[in-house]
Each structure stands twice: as C-alpha cells, then as structure tokens.
A and B are shown apart, each in its own frame.
Chain A
Amino acid sequence: MAGLTADERAALLDSLRRLLADRCAESDVRRIMASETGHDAALWRALADLGVVGLTVPEQHGGAGLGAIELELVMEAAGAALLPAPLLSTAIAAALLDGERLAALAGGYSIAAVAFAGRDDWTGRGDVRRDGAGLAGTARFVPDAAIADTILVTLDDAVFAVAREDAEIVPLPVFDRTRRLADVAFRGPATLIGDGTRIAAARDIALIGLAGEQAGGARRILDMTVDYARERHQFGRAIGSFQAIKHMAADLLLEAESATSAARDAARQVAEDTPARAESVALAAFACADAFVRCAKDGIQMHGGIAFTWEHPAHLYLRRARSAAQLYGDSDHWRERYVRALEVEA
C-alpha cells in the first residue's frame, strides 16, 4: 500500500471537508434523517467521485488503495459533519471482499452491509448459524442493511455474502436517525466467500473507523459549545467567563484531544501491524466512545435551554454518540479487552 504524503493527505481531507460543508450541512443531515431510507444517493455519488467511498479498496479494483490511517482521518471529518452515509460499512466490506465485488463497491454502485456474527464478536446479537451450505437465523442491528444490495456475514471461521432478495430485512426504529439499523433474517441461500482469515482485520477497520468518527464528532460538538460560550451573555458577561463553564470546557478538551490521539494511534498500529495493535484498538474503542458521549452530553448542559430544542443540532450529536457507543461493543467490553491485551505483557 502506497500511503499518501502529508500534503496529499491534507488535500484529500480538504476536498472532503468542502464537499461535506456543501452537501452535508446541518440542513442536509436533517433532510436525510427525515427521509425514509436515511440515504442520499446523490451525496453518495459525490463521495464516490471524490474517491472516498473506495478509499481502502486496492487500486487495481478501482479504489484509492489507502489504509487505516487515511480511513481514520476521513471518518473524523465524516463524524464532525454527522455524515449519514454507509462509509464505514463500505470500508469494512472492502476488508472482507475480493475481485469484482470490490470494484462495484469502490465505484459506489454496490452497497454492502456487514453483520459480525461470530462467537467472539462484541455484539453476540442475533442467532445466525450455518444451515447446510447457507445461513439461518437473524442478525440484529445491522447498520445500513436496508439500503444494501449485499449483506456480508462473518461467523467465527467463514464469511458469507447474501443477496438482499435472499434475506428478510426489517428496518428498526432508531434513536439516532443518522445511522439506520435493521434486523436481517436469513432463509438459506448464502455464498461462502471466504474463511476466517480476514475477519480480524475487518473488525479492526470497523473499530478504527468508528473511533475516528467519534473523535471527529467529539471535537465538533466541543467547538460548537465553546463558540456559544464566547457569544452568549448572562449577568453582563459571556457565560464562558464563568469558571463552572470554562472548567467543563477545559475537561472536555482533554477528552476530545485524547480521543483524537487514541484513534490516530490505533490507525497507525494497525497500518503498521505492530504488536501493540490489539491493545491500541481496544483503547481507542472505549476512549473515543466515552469522550464523544461526554462532550455531547455536557455540551447540551453548557448550552442551556436552547440545546433542548429539536432545532438545535446538539442532540443530533448526542444521538450519534450514543449509537456509536453501542455499535461495535460497549466501553465496558473494550476495557475488558484492553486489560486482556495488557495482561499478556505485564
């Protein structure tokens, strides 16, 4: 994998941020949230044209051929903008797929959702199992399943692809409407597309992408809160001059910066496949989840009543933070995994 120079990386992020400012402003997020599918095909096309959809797809399959480091940075920008799009699902799928399927993915023509359903997985949600040559049972809370043409299912030692027609997909009513989830029931037909060798890498991609999203989201809601604390006056002073507010902001900055450091470090350890890989991914998983929830939560408190209104964006961040904190295992789970990784060394 080639990787990018610092300048190329900055240029990519710059154009992504411009695209998001243009096509994924708060009003767009709200429009997409309110839509039936929660998906904006035109925005997805624009992201594909920019090369972000196929970011981690190898170049010979039409992707940008980049890795965890770039994915994490892209997800920071996506998280900051609350991008409602199957970007993370696509990156995970790219880590599981081969050949032609990859090209369709990179081009933005095919959307694949991923259900992690192995025994060792963090979710343990549902009861998917082998059924002859195919699959039976239900995978629960699968992100982006309702807009996917293919559902990828990982068991302990196998990866299956299931066409949407061969599954029963039931969209769920979700608290965070920027991230749609569905239950997917399997009725037999499924194509075995791989053994278990790629699953661990795909899982790391899922966690790194999510960590980036959380770090980016945490930083954005903190920035919005600090901006407001500079503007809003009470008792003849900006509320940010009150220590009760200022000190909360300082504490949140520590959380948000730590989340960014953790997410970027995990991406680097995975990209370089170091011995610290498992440990740093686990650390990022809980540090970023907790930081985002805390920044979003305290952000509402620091805004006061205005942030209790539907029209104010703060609750959108809290919703996103709460969905991210559950999606791929909760913080307690990852703290436990972190200690397990450290125990081996200590």
Chain B
Amino acid sequence: MTDEQLKTEVEAWLAANWRGTATHKESFGRDPRAEWLAKVRDAGWAVPRWPSDFYGRGLADEQARIVERAFAAVGAPGAGQDRSNLWANTALAHATPAFRREIVPQLLAGEVGMCLLYSEPGAGSDLAAIRTRADKVDGGWRVSGQKVWTSGAQIADYGMLIARTDWDVPKHRGISFFFLPMKQPGVEVRPLRQITDEAHFNEVFIDNAFVPEDNLLGPLNGGWGVLQTALAYERSVMGDAARGPRSGAAGPKGDHALIGLAREAGKLDDPVIRQQLAQTIAWRVLNRLNTQRAKAELQQGTSSSIMSLGKLAMSRILHEEARVRTLLLGVESLLEGAEHPRAEDANFLTLNAYFTSIGGGTDQIQRNIIGERVLGLPKEPEVDRTIPFREVRAG
C-alpha cells in the first residue's frame, strides 16, 4: 500500500468513526475511553507495526507514523500503542501464546487497569535485590512479600510483578516475571500520601496470593530479561512526555507555554528572564529533536545511543521548567488552592518533576546506564553480583 493510500484509508476511517473529543486519562487504571479504543484496536490502528494476524498491519515505522499523525490531527487517542503501551508490548514479547491472546486485546483497549510491582522497601535502585517470593504450587505460584511506591495499584486488575523464584543463585538469575491478578484476597493495597498531596502510589502487601501458570512471562528465573524490555518501554515513554499542570485549565500550553506565562506576568521584557526562557524551552525542543533523530537512525538500522538519553533529559526539563515558572510568579508562588491556579501549577510541577527523576530508575541510575551501556565505561564493583542471593547482606 502506498503512503497516499494508507493516509486516505485512515483519514476516511476516522471521518466515519471519530465523533468525540478525548477525555482525560490517568496513566494507570482502567481507561474511560475503552469502547473507542476497542474500535481502534479492531480496525488495526492501535498497533500497526505489529503482525497483521495479531491486531497489527505489519507496517514499517514510516507508515505507522502516518497513522499516528492522522489520529493526532483530529485529536483521537489510541494510535501508536506499539511504541507507547508498555504493558501490551511486554506481553507481546514475552507472554505465552494463550495468555497473550487473552490479555493483549484487553490491554490495547484499556479494559484492564495495570500497575508495576517492582520496588520494595529493600529494593529500589537495586531492583535485583527483591525479596518477594513466588513458590511453585499446583497450577501456578503462591506469592508473598511487600511492594512499595506502586502507582495505580488501588485501581489495577493486574500487576506486572517481579518475584524471587530461586534463592540459591546470584540475584539477577533467580527472578521471574508475572502478571499477578490484583483482585484477590491475598493482595492488600494501602494508599500512600504523596508530596503532591495526591495518593496515586501505594504499598502492596501480598500474602500467599495466587498467580496461575499461564501468567508467567518469559522463562522461569528469566524475569530480569523481561524486566529490561518493560523498563525500556517505560523509560522511553517517560522521556517523551510527562504529566502537565494539574489544574488542566490554567494558563498557556504547549512547548512555548513559558513565553505566554512570562507575558502574563509582565516579565517578558526582562533580559535575564528571556535568557532563562530560551534555555529552558531549548532543552525541551532539543529532547524532541534527539528523539526524532534516534528514531530515524534506528530505522536506518544504525543503533542509536540517543534513545537512552530521553528520560534523563526530561528530568532536567521538568525541574527547570518548574523553576522558571516559579521565578515568573515570584511571591504568588507562595499561595495555593483553586483561586490561585498559576501558583498551584508551578508548585505541583515543582514536586511532580521527581516522578520522572526518581520513578522508573533515578537520574543517577540513568547516568550509570548511559555510562556503561552506551559509552562502554566499566561497571562499578558490585560485591553481591556473583554470590547466591541467600548469602547477600541486606538492610
């Protein structure tokens, strides 16, 4: 099919089917737009890069982008999930055929809520130190342990879980990756109050919960490899975009929102402010240019080192944009509440920037990864890398 034909087809389909405006979607939990997303999925627009016998159309990246652009042009959600849907992509790559057939369509339509059961009180940056256990029983595994910082757990149907299945091998080699059903007696979710005064993340206490045989992704004890797939998607998504102002309504939007804010604040003529506006906006634009170039290079078959830079870049963008917003507001930033939406936004963005600089692996961990995997610098000495996990010192 030519680019032109494809464009015509997708535009005609949208014209015939897309009626609404997109409702807001939190990144976790069930999607209120499920009905629409199911339609998109069934028409093959959700994951056009995937094979045509599995919800896709086997399109090359270039053509898939035509689809994404057509959706974006009318504001319709649901396209581009072959890049952005971390859950579905992880399942596609690693789930058993039966479980894949069951779960993937639901994931593409946002019919199931998802969460990430990785971090534990004793395993954050050092994820391979997890102590949650999964013990083999008839027909599946019994899981016990404690997870923490689990975003969206209270509304999730499944958690992507890493748990230890072998204690007698070094820490990276005894981990398995599961889709744990969340709505069962052995799973207790307790919300945590965040610095943003929201409660999106939770503690999850797992006590003898059951996970069926078929919900194991990848090989038994091969969970570390599956995790790398999932983390790569997560980080790439976090490098592309982040949650914006909470108020949703207040102030100018888009790349150049800061210029509008400066104008509103009467500070657009201040030469010092203008320098900071330029630098901050530049970082956001440069990150997008980097991502575009990375994708083009990947497509030409040359491996690109830039892909791994996005999340680190986004951390700086978010922290700096929030700082400049605060600078523009001055003392107004001391206020909060619905009558002061600009202050609300600046303060919320200041705090929520840590979602990107801590969540999904901290900036320091990203620098380690870039230094080691991209630049080929030697790893830090790691005293517990080769000894059986049972003997590793904790605390």
**Taking beta carbons and an 8 Å cutoff, which residues of A are in contact with B?**
6, 226, 229-230, 237-238, 240-241, 243, 245-247, 249-251, 253-254, 257-258, 260-262, 264-265, 283, 286-287, 332, 335-336, 338-339, 342-343, 345-346
Cβ proximity bits B356-384 to A, threshold 8 Å, 1 near / 0 not: 00000000101110111011111111000
Q: Which chain B positions have C-beta within 8 A of A229? A: 377
CA distance A240 to B376 in the complex (A): 9
Evaluate contact between A243 and B368: CB separation under 8 angstroms: yes
CA distance A258 to B239 in the complex (A): 14
Q: Which chain A positions have C-beta within 8 A of B313? A: 254, 258
Evaluate contact between B368 and A246: CB separation under 8 angstroms: yes
Stretch of B102-110, B186-194, B276-284, B334-342 that contacts chain A: B276-284
Closest residue of chain A to B376, judged by CB?
A230
18 A-B residue contacts at CB 8 Å?
A: A226-B376, A237-B378, A238-B377, A238-B378, A241-B379, A241-B380, A243-B380, A247-B368, A250-B374, A251-B367, A253-B375, A257-B290, A261-B306, A283-B285, A287-B286, A335-B278, A336-B274, A338-B282
B293, CB-defined interface residue at 8 Å: yes
B260, CB-defined interface residue at 8 Å: yes
B256, CB-defined interface residue at 8 Å: yes
Q: Which chain A positions have C-beta within 8 A of B256? A: 342, 345-346
Evaluate contact between A260 and B293: CB separation under 8 angstroms: yes
A301 to chain B, nearest CB (A): 16
B263 to chain A, nearest CB (A): 8
B266 to chain A, nearest CB (A): 14
Evaluate contact between A287 and B282: CB separation under 8 angstroms: yes
Evaluate contact between A241 and B377: CB separation under 8 angstroms: yes
Going nearest first, the 9 A-B pairs with the smallest beta carbon separation are A246-B371, A240-B377, A335-B278, A261-B289, A346-B259, A250-B370, A250-B367, A241-B378, A258-B286
- CB-contact partner of A240 in B293, B305, B371, under 8 A: B371
Evaluate contact between B367 and A246: CB separation under 8 angstroms: yes
Known: A243-B368, A338-B282. 16 other contacts (CB 8 A): A240-B371, A240-B377, A246-B367, A250-B368, A250-B374, A253-B305, A254-B312, A258-B286, A258-B287, A261-B286, A261-B306, A264-B293, A332-B275, A336-B271, A336-B275, A346-B260
Q: Which chain A positions have C-beta within 8 A of B305? A: 253, 257
- CB-contact partner of A241 in B268, B277, B282, B381, under 8 A: B381
Knowing A237-B378, A250-B371, A345-B256, the reply to whether A339 touches B278 (Cβ < 8 A) is yes
How many positions in chain B have a CB within 8 Å of any CB in the partner chain? 43
Q: Which chain A positions have C-beta within 8 A of B271? A: 336
B129, CB-defined interface residue at 8 Å: no
Please report whether the interface of chain B is mostly helix, strand, loop or mixed according to DSSP.
Answer: helix
Within 8 A of A (CB), among B293-334: 293, 300, 305-306, 309, 312-313
Inter-chain residue pair count (beta carbon < 8 A) = 117
Closest residue of chain B to A258, judged by CB?
B286
CA distance A315 to B286 in the complex (A): 27
Evaluate contact between A261 and B293: CB separation under 8 angstroms: yes
- CB-contact partner of B312 in A245, A250, A262, A264, under 8 A: A250
Knowing A257-B290, A257-B305, A257-B306, the reply to whether A246 touches B377 (Cβ < 8 A) is yes
Interface centre among A243, A253, A287 (most CB of B within 10 A): A253
B252, CB-defined interface residue at 8 Å: yes
Closest residue of chain B to A341, judged by CB?
B278
Evaluate contact between B259 and A339: CB separation under 8 angstroms: yes
CA distance A245 to B380 in the complex (A): 12
- CB-contact partner of A335 in B275, B309, B367, B368, under 8 A: B275
Knowing A257-B305, A332-B275, A343-B259, the reply to whether A243 touches B282 (Cβ < 8 A) is no
CA distance A257 to B368 in the complex (A): 17
- CB-contact partner of B278 in A241, A246, A336, under 8 A: A336
Closest residue of chain B to A343, judged by CB?
B259
CA distance A262 to B290 in the complex (A): 8
Closest residue of chain A to B256, judged by CB?
A346
**Taking beta carbons and an 8 Å cutoff, which residues of B are in contact with A?**
252, 256-257, 259-260, 263, 268, 271, 274-275, 277-279, 281-282, 285-287, 289-290, 292-293, 300, 305-306, 309, 312-313, 364, 366-368, 370-372, 374-381
- CB-contact partner of B289 in A245, A250, A262, A343, under 8 A: A262
B319 to chain A, nearest CB (A): 14
Knowing A250-B370, A253-B309, A335-B278, the reply to whether A240 touches B252 (Cβ < 8 A) is no
B331 to chain A, nearest CB (A): 24
Evaluate contact between A246 and B372: CB separation under 8 angstroms: yes
Interface centre among B275, B278, B281 (most CB of A within 10 A): B278
- CB-contact partner of B259 in A243, A246, A265, A342, under 8 A: A342
Closest residue of chain B to A238, judged by CB?
B378
Evaluate contact between A265 and B289: CB separation under 8 angstroms: yes
Evaluate contact between B375 and A339: CB separation under 8 angstroms: no
Evaluate contact between A342 and B281: CB separation under 8 angstroms: yes
B89 to chain A, nearest CB (A): 25
CA distance A265 to B287 in the complex (A): 12
Evaluate contact between B367 and A237: CB separation under 8 angstroms: no
CA distance A117 to B285 in the complex (A): 31
CA distance A338 to B201 in the complex (A): 40
CA distance A232 to B264 in the complex (A): 53
CA distance A249 to B287 in the complex (A): 18
Evaluate contact between B375 and A250: CB separation under 8 angstroms: yes
Evaluate contact between A243 and B286: CB separation under 8 angstroms: no
CA distance A243 to B372 in the complex (A): 10
Knowing A240-B371, A243-B368, A283-B282, the reply to whether A258 touches B290 (Cβ < 8 A) is yes
Interface centre among B257, B275, B312 (most CB of A within 10 A): B275
Evaluate contact between B274 and A258: CB separation under 8 angstroms: no
Evaluate contact between A339 and B293: CB separation under 8 angstroms: no
B320 to chain A, nearest CB (A): 13
Q: Which chain B positions have C-beta within 8 A of A250? A: 312, 366-368, 370-371, 374-375
Knowing A238-B377, A241-B380, A335-B279, the reply to whether A253 touches B289 (Cβ < 8 A) is no
Q: Which chain B positions have C-beta within 8 A of A6? A: 300
CA distance A287 to B288 in the complex (A): 14
Evaluate contact between A346 and B275: CB separation under 8 angstroms: no
Closest residue of chain B to A266, judged by CB?
B289
Evaluate contact between B381 and A237: CB separation under 8 angstroms: yes
Q: Which chain A positions have C-beta within 8 A of B306? A: 257, 261
Closest residue of chain B to A6, judged by CB?
B300
A240 to chain B, nearest CB (A): 4
Evaluate contact between B290 and A261: CB separation under 8 angstroms: yes
Q: Which chain B positions have C-beta within 8 A of A261? A: 286, 289-290, 292-293, 306
Evaluate contact between A346 and B252: CB separation under 8 angstroms: yes
A285 to chain B, nearest CB (A): 11
